[in-house]
Structure 1
Amino acid sequence: MNTIGLIIFMVVTGSLIAGFTNMLAIRMLFRPYEAKYLFGIKLPFTPGVIPSRRSEASTKLGRIITGHLLTPDVFIDKVKSPETDRFIMNFIDRQIRTIEEEKLSIGYFLERLHAGLSEKVITGFNAELENKISEESEKLYISKIEDLMPRDAMHTIDMKVAELRPQLTRKLEEYMASDKGYEDLYTMTDEFIEKRGRLAKSLKYFMTKENITLNIRKELMKLIHHPKMVDIMEKFIIEEYRRVKGRPVNDFLSEDDKDGLVISISSALEARIDVRSLLDKPIIEFNREFFDSFKERGKYTLKDNTINYLAHNMGRIMDKLQLAEVIKKQIDSFELAHIEDLVMDVAKKEFQMITLLGFILGAVIGLFQGIVVVLL
């Protein structure tokens, strides 16, 4: 082989080897997608670089994106931008207009969140109401009467009880001085005389029943004003009053009475607080002045508070969203063929240049080797 032929041969050989090596290296970035085995032994370089490092690459890519690209500061700047301000304001205006024109209710929004949520709210509210009443009734059921009364009310009752004895004495006087009192005394006197034998009956021969009745009434009048009787009555009233107010409620109410009272109170409150009607009532009808005020001024405060909340809590929100994990899962869910097509579409020209560069470098190296061989 002559000198020129040798050099051309080495140039072509070097170019082909280098070019096809680069083509194979690019191909092996993705191919094969799965590990290949020969006689049970895993072949080297299988699967390709990207398939074998897919999980590690997706994890690092997620961290890079969330750590350097989609950072909380980026979102905060976006949230505070004029575009976001206008977007949130337009959104609030649309919602206000829809609520006003279509007369939407709280129940409507609850149903939009989840079907049947309104009914669950009503049932839950009534159940909670009954539970609270039942809990309080249990406490009240074992409480003393005096502990249930407000201090001012208890003081007023104490004063009224202190005035009870004179009132009872006055009532007794009025009763005995009345025709009804006289008739009752006369009847009792007559029964007493007729049922006490001959000695008692003989009294009517000395005194008439009318006189006996009048004398008894006179003595009773003296008795109720006697200092000792007054003292006995006052002590009895005070002791009974203290005993009653020191007793628990369950001394006066049975368990059935208490349960019935709880049911009655719960039913009355449920009817009074008609949650269903409140949920079905249009929002603008709750308080028209408040709604108009919110439409004119309050919406701006809501917009500012929303932006401030998002800005101050963006870090926590992103932590909750776990964007790095989301990105990793999305990348892992892609088919390798799809990822390969995406990479090839993006870097097609660059890979072609790498292949071409391989051919050129191979040719240059072949030329250099050919010259060295000829010279030696």
Structure 2
Amino acid sequence: MNPIIQVLLMALVGALIGGMTNTIAIKMLFRPYEAKYIFGKRLPFTPGVIPLRRDEASTKLGEIITGHLLTPEVFENKLRSPETDRLIMHFIDRQIETIETERLTPSYFLERLSAGLTDKIVDSFNDEIRTKVTEEGQKLYVRTIDDIMPDDALNAVDYKVSNLAYDINEKIIQYISSDKGFGDIYTMVDEFTENRGRLARSLKYVMTKESLTERVQSELLKLIRQEKMIDIETRVIEDEYGKLKESALSELVTDSDLDNILNSIIEVMQQKIDIREILNTPIIDFNREMFDRFKEKGKYTLKDNFIEYSGKNMSKIMNKLQLAEVIKKQIDSFEVSKLEELVMDVANKEFKMIMMLGYVLGGIVGTAQGILVLFF
């Protein structure tokens, strides 16, 4: 055989072997997609390298990305950048403008979070009022008056009771000394003299009814003005007052009355604290002056606090997001054919260069072998 043809033939064979080897190696990165079996035994090199190591590769890739690329420091630096600052400020301005022009209410945002959330909050708030009022009412129901009343109010009542006998006596004296009192005493004297037998009737022949009435009136006034009478009244009043203070509310109020009282309190509180009306009130109407101050200065404080808080807690936020796990799941969700297509689109030129390099190196090796054969 012609030496030149022999060298060229060996160079061609070497180039084909080198090129085809690299081509097959590149294909075997992905193919076959699934393991192949003969007689129940898996064939070597099936599935391809990437499908075989897919779980391990996705785990490592997620760790690399979150450990070296998307680190908390990267997010924190981006968060504190002027571009992000302007973006957040623009977002806040847009939201303030929308709230003001469209007169948005708290209920609007609640319904955006979850349909029917406003009704749930209203019902929950009213139920809480009913529960708390009922619980406190039941607690008060078994407590004594002395325990229920505030100290200031109790001291005020104690003072009033201590002087009550003098006040009552004064009222009685005013009544007895009045024309009305005199008339009532005259009526009682008249009934006494007419209905108490002969001895009583004989009094009208000795004294006139008017003089007898005046005598009775005078004696009553003397009796009432006596200090001993006031002491007796004071003792009786204080004894009854002490018993009243030591009485439980349940002794004075029936269960039915308690229910009516509690229901009235609940109804008044629900009317006074109309949570539905509050939630349906435009945000700007709660306090216009405060809203304007927020537009001028407060929004900057909100932005700074958000950036500061997010920056300090970025590590915790990323741990909560579990980005490595998210990346792994996304990669695992790709079909191998789709993954191959993505990789080939990105590195198609490089893979072609590797295949061409295989042909070139194979050709060089084949040529070298041909020349060596000629000489040896």
**TM-score using structure 1 length:** 0.89
**Mean Cα deviation higher: 151-160 or 51-60:** 151-160
Q: Which amino acid aligns with 2:198?
A: K
1:19 equivalent in structure 2: 19
1:242-253 paired onto structure 2 within 5 Å: 242-253=242-253
CA distance, structure 2, for counterparts of residue 56 and residue 290 of structure 1: 56
Are 2:144 and 1:119 equivalent residues in the alignment?
no
How far did 1:364 drift?
3.4
Q: Which amino acid aligns with 2:201?
A: K
Contact in 1 for aligned 2:134/2:262 (Cα 8 Å): yes
1:201 equivalent in structure 2: 198
CA distance, structure 2, for counterparts of residue 44 and residue 55 of structure 1: 19
1:286 equivalent in structure 2: 286
Aligned length: 373
Q: Which amino acid aligns with 1:94?
A: R
How far did 1:237 drift?
0.9
How far did 1:114 drift?
2.0
CA distance, structure 2, for counterparts of residue 266 and residue 51 of structure 1: 67
Are 2:79 and 1:82 equivalent residues in the alignment?
no
How far did 1:188 drift?
4.9
Q: Which amino acid aligns with 1:358?
A: G
CA distance, structure 1, for counterparts of residue 133 and residue 203 of structure 2: 70
Are 2:321 and 1:324 equivalent residues in the alignment?
no
CA distance, structure 2, for counterparts of residue 345 and residue 59 of structure 1: 23
How far did 1:331 drift?
0.8
1:201-253 per-position Cα deviation (integer Å, ceiling 9, x unaligned): 33322456836655554444343344443322211111111221222222222
Q: Which amino acid aligns with 1:287?
A: N
How far did 1:4 drift?
5.1
In structure 2, stretches of 5+ residues that fail to align are none
Q: Which amino acid aligns with 1:105?
A: T
CA distance, structure 2, for counterparts of residue 39 and residue 25 of structure 1: 26
Q: Which amino acid aligns with 1:202?
A: L
Name the SS of the counterpart of 1:223 in structure 2. helix
What percentage of aligned pairs have identical amino acids? 54
1:315 equivalent in structure 2: 315
1:40-59 per-position Cα deviation (integer Å, ceiling 9, x unaligned): 22222211111111111111
Contact in 1 for aligned 2:194/2:201 (Cα 8 Å): no
1:178-205 per-position Cα deviation (integer Å, ceiling 9, x unaligned): 4444454455556667776xxx433322
1:332-343 paired onto structure 2 within 5 Å: 332-343=332-343
CA distance, structure 1, for counterparts of residue 296 and residue 86 of structure 2: 16
Contact in 1 for aligned 2:165/2:234 (Cα 8 Å): yes
CA distance, structure 2, for counterparts of residue 81 and residue 93 of structure 1: 19
Q: Which amino acid aligns with 1:125?
A: F
Q: Which amino acid aligns with 1:162?
A: S
CA pair 38-193 structure 1, distance change in 2 beyond 3 A = farther
How far did 1:296 drift?
1.5
Contact in 1 for aligned 2:193/2:204 (Cα 8 Å): no
**Mean Cα deviation higher: 256-265 or 6-15:** 6-15
How far did 1:77 drift?
0.8
How far did 1:17 drift?
2.6
Q: Which amino acid aligns with 1:34?
A: E
Q: Which amino acid aligns with 2:337?
A: A
CA distance, structure 1, for counterparts of residue 359 and residue 249 of structure 2: 103
> RMSD across aligned C-alpha pairs, in angstroms?
2.5
Contact in 1 for aligned 2:194/2:200 (Cα 8 Å): no
2:36 equivalent in structure 1: 36
CA distance, structure 2, for counterparts of residue 68 and residue 272 of structure 1: 58
How far did 1:33 drift?
0.9
**Mean Cα deviation higher: 50-59 or 219-228:** 219-228
Are 2:298 and 1:298 equivalent residues in the alignment?
yes
1:343-354 paired onto structure 2 within 5 Å: 343-354=343-354
Q: Which amino acid aligns with 2:334?
A: F
**TM-score using structure 2 length:** 0.89
CA distance, structure 2, for counterparts of residue 3 and residue 127 of structure 1: 103
Name the SS of the counterpart of 2:47 in structure 1. coil
How far did 1:84 drift?
0.8
How far did 1:112 drift?
2.0
Contact in 1 for aligned 2:18/2:358 (Cα 8 Å): yes
Contact in 1 for aligned 2:192/2:200 (Cα 8 Å): no
CA distance, structure 2, for counterparts of residue 260 and residue 335 of structure 1: 69
**Mean Cα deviation higher: 326-335 or 350-359:** 350-359
Name the SS of the counterpart of 1:30 in structure 2. coil
How far did 1:5 drift?
5.3
